[in-house]
Structure 1
Amino acid sequence: MKKCSSWGLVLLLVICMVLSGCSSSGMRANEVKNNGTQTTKNKGKYKIGYDIYFAGNTWSVQMYKEFQSEVKRNQDKIEDVIYVESEGKVDKQIANIEDLITKGVDVIITTPNSPTALAPVLKKAQGKGIKVVLLAAKSEYETFDSLVTVNDYDFGKAGAQWLVKQLDGKGKIITLNGIAGISVSDERWKGAKEVFDKYPDIKVVASANADWDYAKAKLEVSNMLSANPQIDGVWSQGGGMTLGAIESFQAANRTLVPMTSEDNNGFLKKWQELRSKGFKSIAVAKPTWLGSEALKTALNLLEGKNVEKNQILPVSQITEDNLEKFVRTDLPDSFWANSRMSDQEVKETFSK
């Protein structure tokens, strides 16, 4: 009896030890899992949602690539980046943002294709604790945590003031705007119109929304030249539009007139080539590195740092005096002069 009791006691102790081991082992597994999750958050590993609002011109593509370049520089803070593409369509952009909300991102970076239509879905994102950063375009509603852009009103105004000065306050001009309905285009034209309205002898004889696109602008300007025997100047929001305008004038054997533009490398090369023939221009710049700045802002928000709600940066200008500093004959026409990417990244981006 004593022997059996001793063996029974030993067996009982073994069973208790096994059960205790299983229990503590399970607890340690849960602790590792929970602590692993907590450690990730403590390290600032975040899930980023980036909406490629439009990939129809080289400026918007380079801004997206600037963002990707900044992602590489912040890998230690980023768990994942989820990309969606909205193709310039408001309904698709709303659906894409809904998708990013469903996927549980920590922040959404988007360029609104409408200054009003995105408000409800952005408000929904904020209601779920998701930070919202607007990139390069405004919203009429306060459904965002920070806006990163330049003053597009000043952009339009600067080009208009230069053109008026070139024409001594009188002449017939044509205007080329961007994509209709986007705040960028609207703000730029608003700034320019304020200037032109002060000069009654400046007449806008034709205008078009050429979507910042070279081919569309070339066609539009060709039609304007056919309808208007006198055109003294071109106010263009830039992109590839001014380059298209130049080629339309040349194809029609019309004398080149003063034209405003932007810091596209293809245009800067053409300007450099033609200025010895008397062609005059100004390139007002909205830098593509705004994509980089938007990610920096997003990470600062997620880390609880103080971030300005409206980061409206000043526009810069390329003139006759500093053109040589910005034009890059060694890089593709599709490159934009104000970049934070390395030359290698630029060549990889625009090699195709």
Structure 2
Amino acid sequence: MQKKFIPFSIVIIFLTLSLCACTGPSNDQKTSDHKQPVSKKQFDSDGFTIAYCDTSQLETWRIQMLAEFEQAAGELKTEGIIDEYYVTNANGDPAKQINDINNMIQKGVDGIILCATSPTAIQSAVDDAMNAGIKVVNLNSLVKSNNVTSKIYQSDIAFGQICADFIVNKLNGKGNILVLNGIAGSEISNERWIGAENVFKEYPDIHILSTAYADWSYDKGYQATLDLLNENAEIDGVWSQGGAMTQGAIDAFQEKELPLVPMSGEASNGFLRTWIECQKSTSFDSICPNYTATISVTALNTLIDALKGKEVSQEIELPIDTITSENIYDYYRSDLNDNFWCDTQLSDANLKKLYQRDEE
């Protein structure tokens, strides 16, 4: 970094502060109620140091979301915009995530991308980061407070509504339904169910036979469905908020040699493969709201804009594309394995490295 004479620096700082004082926020953007300090590196030639603090890396979707981030961050590092980045994994533990954030504060990072383990339990650490002048972009799993630089999300309530509307339409507003939710206490799972319940309440002839928290996993989705079928329950539809859980439900029906019923799913390549295979011999149908793993790239770009002193919206809601039987082949990748999620900015080289399908 080049040295500057002190008098010249003083003039520059004075002029900059004067201009900032005369500039107000845009009327067409959501802004926070607090003023955020400008990054200390805004005028430096050095790149920014940032952190990606995730709630967990248990689901294949989160693993791909991190991969999308790391590819984009690597490109920015090559360009000199980023000097260094850290990745932390809280393993679903708010106490661990608080410690992760505090460690990033101690390291003096310029910005944090955060997937929250809890909407409230980690807020004190987030506040500490903001008070230290660190930009915090919160994505996917959100904190309740607006004391962050920006929140980026897709509507989980809309996700649940899309799946419920499909089930109701397929059953003509009448039938018995199994509900497969995600992780108990998860804000994402809760809001998806809120969206679905809002739809089902409008149809008194839709009956919820059983609700299971299947943790977005194949095994628990399979077992919850099999347990209900073993009770000789007549299931007319399965409202599921995760593709792996739906794959488990399909296998449970097939094990009992029962006709498949309408089931909602999610946009994993594995579920799309199962859906296509079922279509070859049955009238099975489904729907998949596409919860994009590229949200991490949007968060990264938003953080860099904020660090450069640009105004960013406090809330950014990304649209949800919907996969149906009409457009399924636009998303499905026969050359990639089941862990791939069907919306990506990953290069072909990275896709093959991470998701190359084994020869059968």
| TM-score computed with the length of structure 1 as normaliser | 0.87
The worse-fitting range, judged by mean Cα deviation, of 301-310 and 44-53 is 44-53
- Quote the offset at 1:343 in angstroms: 2.4
- Quote the offset at 1:224 in angstroms: 2.2
- Which of 87, 94, 109 in structure 2 is aligned with 1:90? 94
Whether the 8 Å contact between 2:95 and 2:122 is mirrored in structure 1 is no
Which residue is 1:316 aligned to? 321
In the alignment of these two chains, the number of paired residues is: 321
Which residue is 1:287 aligned to? 292
Whether the 8 Å contact between 1:133 and 1:147 is mirrored in structure 2 is yes
- Quote the offset at 1:344 in angstroms: 1.8
Which residue is 1:121 aligned to? 125
How do 1:15-30 and structure 2 match up within 5 A? Answer: none
Residues 1:45 and 2:23 aligned together: no
SS of 2:264's equivalent in the other structure is strand
Cα 1:44/1:210, change in 2 over 3 Å: farther
Whether the 8 Å contact between 1:256 and 1:279 is mirrored in structure 2 is yes
Query: Which runs of no fewer than 5 residues in structure 2 stay unpaired?
Result: 10-39
Whether the 8 Å contact between 2:137 and 2:303 is mirrored in structure 1 is yes
- Quote the offset at 1:334 in angstroms: 0.6
Whether the 8 Å contact between 1:59 and 1:239 is mirrored in structure 2 is no
Cα 1:138/1:197, change in 2 over 3 Å: same
Cα 1:93/1:256, change in 2 over 3 Å: same
Which residue is 1:335 aligned to? 340
- Which of 44, 56, 59 in structure 2 is aligned with 1:57? 59
Whether the 8 Å contact between 2:167 and 2:264 is mirrored in structure 1 is yes
Cα 1:40/1:194, change in 2 over 3 Å: closer
| Corresponding letter in the other structure for 1:114 | S
Which residue is 2:35 aligned to? none
Which residue is 1:265 aligned to? 269
- Give the Cα–Cα distance (whole angstroms) in 1 for the partners of residues 129 and 290 of structure 2: 32
- Give the Cα–Cα distance (whole angstroms) in 1 for the partners of residues 279 and 228 of structure 2: 24
| Corresponding letter in the other structure for 1:55 | Q
- Quote the offset at 1:102 in angstroms: 1.3
Query: Which runs of no fewer than 5 residues in structure 1 stay unpaired?
Result: 1-28
Whether the 8 Å contact between 2:41 and 2:48 is mirrored in structure 1 is no
Whether the 8 Å contact between 1:237 and 1:261 is mirrored in structure 2 is yes
Q: How much is the aligned-residue C-alpha RMSD, in angstroms?
A: 2.1
Cα 1:172/1:307, change in 2 over 3 Å: same
SS of 1:99's equivalent in the other structure is helix
Cα 1:40/1:137, change in 2 over 3 Å: closer
Cα 1:39/1:52, change in 2 over 3 Å: closer
- Give the Cα–Cα distance (whole angstroms) in 2 for the partners of residues 64 and 222 of structure 1: 33
The worse-fitting range, judged by mean Cα deviation, of 153-162 and 206-215 is 206-215
- Quote the offset at 1:293 in angstroms: 1.0
- Which of 169, 175, 178 in structure 2 is aligned with 1:165? 169
Residues 1:197 and 2:209 aligned together: no
Whether the 8 Å contact between 1:114 and 1:181 is mirrored in structure 2 is no
- Quote the offset at 1:40 in angstroms: 8.8
How do 1:227-242 and structure 2 match up within 5 A? Answer: 227-242=231-246
- Give the Cα–Cα distance (whole angstroms) in 2 for the partners of residues 69 and 196 of structure 1: 41
Which residue is 2:138 aligned to? 134
Cα 1:108/1:195, change in 2 over 3 Å: same
Whether the 8 Å contact between 2:152 and 2:317 is mirrored in structure 1 is yes
Deviations, residues 110-154 of structure 1 (Å, cap 9, x unaligned): 111211111111011101001111111222111211111111110
Cα 1:202/1:289, change in 2 over 3 Å: same
Rg larger for: 1
Whether the 8 Å contact between 2:152 and 2:299 is mirrored in structure 1 is yes
SS of 2:287's equivalent in the other structure is strand
Whether the 8 Å contact between 2:42 and 2:309 is mirrored in structure 1 is no
- Give the Cα–Cα distance (whole angstroms) in 1 for the partners of residues 72 and 138 of structure 2: 17
- Give the Cα–Cα distance (whole angstroms) in 2 for the partners of residues 185 and 44 of structure 1: 41
Whether the 8 Å contact between 1:85 and 1:93 is mirrored in structure 2 is yes
- Quote the offset at 1:30 in angstroms: 11
Deviations, residues 85-105 of structure 1 (Å, cap 9, x unaligned): 111122211111111111111
Which residue is 1:306 aligned to? 311
- Give the Cα–Cα distance (whole angstroms) in 2 for the partners of residues 228 and 116 of structure 1: 42
Cα 1:140/1:346, change in 2 over 3 Å: same
Whether the 8 Å contact between 2:49 and 2:83 is mirrored in structure 1 is yes
SS of 1:259's equivalent in the other structure is coil
- Quote the offset at 1:349 in angstroms: 2.1
Whether the 8 Å contact between 2:54 and 2:88 is mirrored in structure 1 is yes
Deviations, residues 8-59 of structure 1 (Å, cap 9, x unaligned): xxxxxxxxxxxxxxxxxxxxx9959x99xx9995336111111132111111
Which residue is 2:255 aligned to? 251
